[in-house]
Structure 1
Amino acid sequence: MTPDDHQPYIVLLSIHGLIRGHNLELGRDADTGGQTKYLVELARALGANAWVGRVDLLTRRVDDPTVSADYAQPRETLGANVQIVRIDCGEAGYIPKEQLWDSLDSFADSTLEYLKQQPRLPDILHSHYADAGYVGVRLASLLGIPLVHTGHSLGRSKRRQLLAAGHSKEALETRYHITRRIEAEETTLGVAERVITSTQQEVQEQYALYDHYRPEHMRVIPPGTDLQQFYPPQADSPASLMQAELARFLTQPDKPMILALSRPDPRKNIVELVSAYGESSELQQLANLVIVAGNRDDIRDLDSGAQEVLSDILLTVDQYDLYGKVAYPKHHQAHDVPDLYRLAAASKGVFINPALTEPFGLTLIEAAASGLPIVATDDGGPTDIIGNCRNGYLINPLDRADMAAKLWQVLTSNQQAWETLAQQGLQGVRHHYSWQAHVEKYLAELRPLMARTEATAAAETLPPVTLKRRKQLHHDRALFSDLDQNLLGKPEALAPFLTALQDNRRCVLFGIATGRRLDAAIQLMKRHRIPLPDVLITSLGTEIYYAPNLLPDTAWERHIDHLWNPRIIRRVLDGIPGIELQAKRDQSRFKISYFINPEIAPDIQQLNSLLHQEGQAVNVVQAFGQFLDIIPVRASKGLALRWVADQRDIPLERILAAGGSGADADMLRGNTLAVVVANRHHEELSELVQEGVNIFFATRPYADGILEAIEHYQFFQSCEISA
């Protein structure tokens, strides 16, 4: 397996997990997931390219009776010029990636010895994930070989996710060695000459968190799609088990299929799709709706988010009486997924991804490769996919009429128009998203690196690697603002405010705190072209979401659930004069919303007294003179802000909070820097005039007032941003 001197020798490094060339144990544990499949398929695709001489995929040798003996074999052939090479790494047994750090130097030394034994050194090292990045830096520095890196997931983002899930900072160090991982990623990003990512969003929202953020070294190359697994339906395809499973739900199973496939996650917006279908009698007559949302035995056994989504799907089906028109199977296997796409394509149907936000959109590519036109959210990756493939339409995921109209447009196309969309999707996937296309773009990035290496190969010594880091590790301050009262009232002021934020985004975390539900807040932001903030606090501080994927803070949910009993609260307030329950769409799990007529209803103190008499400790919030909200005692905008500040280690003295109504009061009190905009609701915030020195009353309204406060506090002046 020796390439000639003119054919590149590429080494891929992926240390953790269980990697073999057949029957990959995807999902066996957190270490054996999509990364392992990507590596094996990339290695094979590189080897199939005539320009490439040799590919070695180097991983850890595992000799453990609890796993297959395959993983103890030193070599495994993947192709004529491609092999998996397994190298000893500390102890022989299978251990998770978080426990590998102390063994990585041993792996690096053994890998160095292996490479020196080869007829010639590799032309490129490509590390995958932080542990391989650590090894790759050592090898690249010793051998003078260019390092390419793919993070797959990043420690800073992982840290945020784990904190949002309720893990303590101490646990992150003990169990995940998160600081060690982040430091390895920092060094890798400082040394790597190219960083390969799947989306531009990764570059801007995840890698930008790092001190060694060098966007000029980053290249977006979407992963390839297995066209042998995802392909159009064949005329002689036999009936499948999945086809029979769907038919159990449907009165007319031969109608075109509207297919949605996702996790049962609120961010996937499936309930909105069911509602859009339920409100369109034309769609119901024309097509069936098929919802494949994970696997379940009993909804009650799932986590709270999945429970809520699946329960809402069933309730919405019942609300619109969609029985016989909607299929929602309980189980499916990985091998059923290509079959689902082909069933939808054979029915002349359409695939839809209505997610609130979608960083990439792999299901859209799989659907396109299966000959199925698509409809997708206008946020994130789908814009690129539909732009490249020209096989469907973008939608506003919160506009049911738009969603129904675009589905109708695909389904009512004449045969030739539908086939055109399908064929354009097939061509677009082959050109942009096949493994061949991925490898061609990948190699185009490697050629200049290898040319530079050849030009300097005769040098006796290599210059030492010098790393220049930005001065700050995290956002060192934050700005939180209400949505309606602060940002939306004066459009001409919004643009300069957003520009100022963008210019300082590396040191200023931007958060929006609103009384609106998540879907309503996003719809308003889309309408006014406000980008997704770093943190979105919704429903009066009862929900916290983090960019870029609207990750919910489940630890916060568990925290505020303390002493919360909405059934008793509704019973206590039921029938009180001047108080009327708002519509169901304005309610949420931790917020009970009423209209209030202050001239008739009891005042806030009396309402609190009634609730206290029933043992209910809650927060009662009145805003704009007509809205009354009851939320858990541990929840409010101000408490949510402080929770985020603690998670991100941002002192309150470096947080500028902007508000204008009674719902903002506790966000403005205390040690935060605060501004009350000039268009404030005077009566509700009048008490603040006599309170704390940190409250600035702007003379200008809306976003102009926030800009005035930024000048007053010199809020951006001390930000440390390197050139």
Structure 2
Amino acid sequence: MVNIKEGDLYLVHLSVHGLIRGQNLELGRDADTGGQTTYVVELVEALGRMKEVGKVDLFTRRVADPAVDPEYGEPTEQIADNVRIVRIDAGPSEEYLYKEHLWDHLDNFVDNALAHFRAEGRTPDLLHSHYADAGYVGTRLAHILGVPLIHTGHSLGRVKRRRLLATGLTREQIEARYNMSRRIEAEENTLATAERVITSTHQEIEEQYALYDHYQPEQMRVIPPGADLNRFYPPSEAEGDPRKAPIAAEIDRFLNEPDKPFILALSRPDARKNISGLVTAYGESPELQDLANLVIVAGNRDDIADMDDGAQEVLTDLLLLFDRYDLYGKVSYPKHHKADDVPEIYRLASARKGVFVNPALTEPFGLTLIEAAASGIPIVATEDGGPRDIVGNCDNGLLVDVLDTDAITEAIRKVLEDDDVWETYARNGVKGVRTHYSWEAHSRTYLDEAVPVIDRSGLLFRPELRRKDSVYRDRAIFTDLDQNLLGDPDSLPEFVERMRRNRSTASFGIATGRRLDSALRALRRNKIPEPDVLITSGGTQIHYAPDLTADVAWARHIDHHWMPRKVRKLLADTPGLELQPPAEQSWFKISYYYDPSIAPSMDELNSLMHREEMAVNIMLSFGQFLDILPIRATKGLAVRYVTDRWGIPIDQTLVAGGSGADEDMMRGNTLAAVVANRHDEELSQLVDLERIYFATQPFARGILEAIDHYDFFGECRAPEPEEKETESAET
């Protein structure tokens, strides 16, 4: 290894799009000027303070548009003694272009960056690209200059496309608007070139980068971004009493006993943040209510009615829960707070010996957990994703299954009821953040990874990789949960491993009658990795990995002619029908217990609905559970919707079921499989259909049997009739 002397290194970071300057970043000005710009500016400043580093340049695009600040048109900006921003011309500099419109100008950026290096007379020791467009630039510069490349994706095209499809955009619209194929190809080439890829969490590696052909786990390094310890720190006498801050009065006005400890949650009003789960745990525990107040800081609002549908639903649910559990005087839910109030809120919670709770269903990173820890607050957090890394590094709190309200309650009580536990977790959090999540710690770890790349002692061995023919995955497996995966834990690991091994080719989906929270609970208890898509509540809800993005376009689609109140009123006095508990109901699913001895038959129920001009689907499962859904919603319709949106041929879609509720998934041109279990007789009427395979094995073994039968990861087709006859004869 070459000895790197003090001041030896010249590092160049590339962040092409957005508006970047050293001070007063215009965060939120548009989608291109967000967290990435803050990260790269703070990172280069931190690296400039390291003794090995002599010079750091941040290359970005020069913008001389009269509509933006003239600073963005300056060729260079010195932001520290040895750190500067270098603005490179690329395309029409007098026009600010969004990142989607920069692709045709990136080669200009490359050539002008090369001219800059020649003029300065120095080649960098390392290039580091940020996002796909800079990855394109960095890849070309690395090849031309013979300089090693490190890359940080920040977000990935394959994941972004899935989110965009969920909003209702078509594949064609996404391609035209976002140049998605071009972006993904740039990401693949960047992964093929970069010696290291920096991520924030292990989950990002396993669930996002693994979708790419050039994915190599050995290439990936987790280095979480640094926290600003000048903003987030524990309360102290020198800083003044946080209880006197203006935001404290705004919080306290809701509370009868404001000096009690806080249970604090701070997040966007998003269903995935699962604030309602925390409120339910608090509402059902008199002990928690005696111990502490609950403080919910969920964005800013003037009038809930003016907010988007998702935020409206979340906040309305919270207000209903406050009322159901009569939490008035015990819960605070301020309407407004400024960004500068957030550190004060944390310090107020710390001063009152509180606990910070992140009950999110999925949490890719968990920046608020780091901020809370730096402020001296113990944490209770979801065991999913980034919090595992944070608690593992800091030992400053407890991880829980946030779908288990008893577990949430028990964890909070454990922290609040024992002063020694509280003090230990609070102290560990402050120390752990300084050790693992400060910019100094980030820069030290970064250089420990970068130096072996620079001196060539740690270059990546690259085995020959095979690119698949299509840009996107061209086949998918959808399976029921209870009747297919949960009954035989011994066969699950092989199924999971085969899906992991082929995840860049095949999408994996669950289609279940369970609600989303129930399905997630079952997946986690049985250690089944979160699928690419979750179709829940009988086909009425669709959510996509990695962050459970709801398909709002599907919700709009199935709302057609859906009148749930009229359905409930119509069936209110029907013999043999009893509404299931609220936990089994949703806006698009009305669920009953069905007693076949006295209830009307399915034909009679359908006739009743037709006479009343009610367009619905009536689904009976296991002879005793009756679901009424919108006419456009079933598991089979949802599977076809998803595969059509993703561009996956229906005849390359394997659906596996085990009960009558799965029948509509299996009819048609899918590759279908009935696994052997005690309910498979409900599908016996399908036995003569050509494209339906009746497995001899139950549960996951039956799915594996079907994968082999259809050669799903190879030819992916149903055997020809003569092949089937030969198989039978040999048998």
Superposed displacement of residue 356, structure 1: 1.3
Query: Number of residue pairs matched?
Result: 707
Superposed displacement of residue 328, structure 1: 1.2
Q: Which residue among 193, 203, 206 is the counterpart of 1:204? A: 206
Q: Which residue among 266, 272, 276 is the counterpart of 2:271? A: 266
Superposed displacement of residue 306, structure 1: 1.9
Superposed displacement of residue 73, structure 1: 2.0
Contact in 2 for aligned 1:476/1:719 (Cα 8 Å): no
Superposed displacement of residue 707, structure 1: 2.6
Helix, strand or coil: the match of 2:96? coil
Deviations 1:667-713 (A, max 9, x none): 111111112222252563243234x2111222332223223323332
Superposed displacement of residue 191, structure 1: 1.4
CA change 1:556–1:255 in 2 (3 A) is: same
Partner of 1:515: 513
Deviations 1:139-195 (A, max 9, x none): 112211111111111111111110111111121122111112112112111111211
Contact in 2 for aligned 1:350/1:373 (Cα 8 Å): yes
Q: Which residue among 144, 150, 163 is the counterpart of 1:142? A: 144
Farther off after superposition, 437-446 or 31-40: 437-446
Q: Distance in 2 between matches of 1:324 and 1:645?
A: 49
Superposed displacement of residue 242, structure 1: 1.0
CA change 1:78–1:594 in 2 (3 A) is: same
Partner of 1:32: 33
Q: Which residue among 701, 706, 716 is the counterpart of 1:704? A: 701
Matched to 2:693, the amino acid is: F
Helix, strand or coil: the match of 2:472? coil
Q: Distance in 1 between matches of 2:212 and 2:492?
A: 28
Partner of 2:56: 55
Superposed displacement of residue 453, structure 1: 9.5
Q: Distance in 2 between matches of 1:54 and 1:125?
A: 13
Contact in 1 for aligned 2:7/2:51 (Cα 8 Å): no
Helix, strand or coil: the match of 1:562? coil
Q: Distance in 2 between matches of 1:591 and 1:218?
A: 43
Deviations 1:45-75 (A, max 9, x none): 0011111100111111211222222212222
Partner of 1:639: 637
Contact in 2 for aligned 1:537/1:640 (Cα 8 Å): yes
Partner of 1:120: 122
Q: Distance in 2 between matches of 1:188 and 1:710?
A: 33
Q: Distance in 1 between matches of 2:679 and 2:125?
A: 66
CA change 1:6–1:254 in 2 (3 A) is: closer
Q: Which residue among 215, 230, 245 is the counterpart of 2:250? A: 245
Matched to 1:391, the amino acid is: N
Q: Distance in 1 between matches of 2:153 and 2:698?
A: 44
Matched to 1:248, the amino acid is: R
Residue 380 in structure 1 maps to residue 382 in structure 2 = no
Partner of 2:723: none
Helix, strand or coil: the match of 1:544? strand
Farther off after superposition, 562-571 or 283-292: 562-571
Which aligned pairs between 1:402-413 and structure 2 lie closer than 5 A? 402-413=407-418
Matched to 1:370, the amino acid is: S
Farther off after superposition, 281-290 or 206-215: 206-215
Partner of 1:435: 439
CA RMSD in angstroms, aligned pairs only = 2.1
Farther off after superposition, 124-133 or 609-618: 609-618
Q: Which residue among 529, 532, 537 is the counterpart of 2:530? A: 532
Q: Distance in 1 between matches of 2:670 and 2:421?
A: 58
Farther off after superposition, 441-450 or 491-500: 491-500
Superposed displacement of residue 621, structure 1: 0.5
Which aligned pairs between 1:385-400 and structure 2 lie closer than 5 A? 385-400=390-405
Matched to 2:171, the amino acid is: K
CA change 1:707–1:265 in 2 (3 A) is: same
Q: Which residue among 553, 556, 568 is the counterpart of 2:554? A: 556
Residue 87 in structure 1 maps to residue 88 in structure 2 = yes
Q: Distance in 2 between matches of 1:583 and 1:69?
A: 61
Deviations 1:316-338 (A, max 9, x none): 11000000111111222221211
Contact in 2 for aligned 1:623/1:684 (Cα 8 Å): no
Contact in 2 for aligned 1:210/1:473 (Cα 8 Å): no
Residue 695 in structure 1 maps to residue 692 in structure 2 = yes
CA change 1:125–1:500 in 2 (3 A) is: closer
Q: Which residue among 219, 222, 233 is the counterpart of 1:220? A: 222
Farther off after superposition, 172-181 or 385-394: 172-181
Contact in 2 for aligned 1:186/1:210 (Cα 8 Å): yes
Superposed displacement of residue 479, structure 1: 1.7
Partner of 2:426: 422
Residue 660 in structure 1 maps to residue 661 in structure 2 = no
Deviations 1:352-400 (A, max 9, x none): 1111111211111111111111011111111111111011111111111
Q: Distance in 2 between matches of 1:518 and 1:466?
A: 40
Superposed displacement of residue 214, structure 1: 2.2
Matched to 1:709, the amino acid is: A
Partner of 1:102: 104
CA change 1:683–1:571 in 2 (3 A) is: farther
Matched to 2:340, the amino acid is: H
Q: Distance in 2 between matches of 1:157 and 1:707?
A: 27
Q: Distance in 1 between matches of 2:21 and 2:342?
A: 23
Contact in 2 for aligned 1:123/1:145 (Cα 8 Å): yes
Residue 17 in structure 1 maps to residue 2 in structure 2 = no
Superposed displacement of residue 5, structure 1: 9.4
Partner of 2:570: 572
Q: Which residue among 280, 303, 322 is the counterpart of 1:275? A: 280
Which aligned pairs between 1:299-314 and structure 2 lie closer than 5 A? 299-314=304-319
Farther off after superposition, 31-40 or 380-389: 380-389
Matched to 1:358, the amino acid is: E
Partner of 2:721: none
Q: Which residue among 120, 130, 133 is the counterpart of 1:131? A: 133
Which aligned pairs between 1:586-665 and structure 2 lie closer than 5 A? 586-665=584-663
Helix, strand or coil: the match of 1:351? strand
Q: Which residue among 168, 186, 189 is the counterpart of 2:188? A: 186
Contact in 2 for aligned 1:19/1:71 (Cα 8 Å): yes
Q: Distance in 2 between matches of 1:263 and 1:373?
A: 21
Matched to 2:564, the amino acid is: P
Partner of 1:446: 450
Q: Distance in 1 between matches of 2:264 and 2:14?
A: 38
Q: Distance in 2 between matches of 1:520 and 1:486?
A: 16
CA change 1:57–1:272 in 2 (3 A) is: same
CA change 1:503–1:190 in 2 (3 A) is: closer
Farther off after superposition, 318-327 or 203-212: 203-212
Helix, strand or coil: the match of 1:526? helix
Please, what TM-score do these two structures have when normalized by structure 1?
0.94
CA change 1:496–1:150 in 2 (3 A) is: closer
Contact in 2 for aligned 1:10/1:55 (Cα 8 Å): yes
Matched to 2:698, the amino acid is: P
Deviations 1:551-598 (A, max 9, x none): 211111111111111122112212111111111111111111111112
Q: Distance in 2 between matches of 1:143 and 1:340?
A: 49
Helix, strand or coil: the match of 1:397? coil
Farther off after superposition, 170-179 or 472-481: 472-481
Matched to 2:707, the amino acid is: I
Matched to 2:102, the amino acid is: L
Helix, strand or coil: the match of 2:296? strand
Q: Distance in 2 between matches of 1:670 and 1:299?
A: 44
Superposed displacement of residue 513, structure 1: 0.8
Q: Distance in 1 between matches of 2:137 and 2:492?
A: 47
Matched to 2:694, the amino acid is: F
CA change 1:504–1:170 in 2 (3 A) is: closer
Matched to 2:255, the amino acid is: L
Matched to 1:638, the amino acid is: G
Deviations 1:478-525 (A, max 9, x none): 221111112222333333333333343333322111100000111112
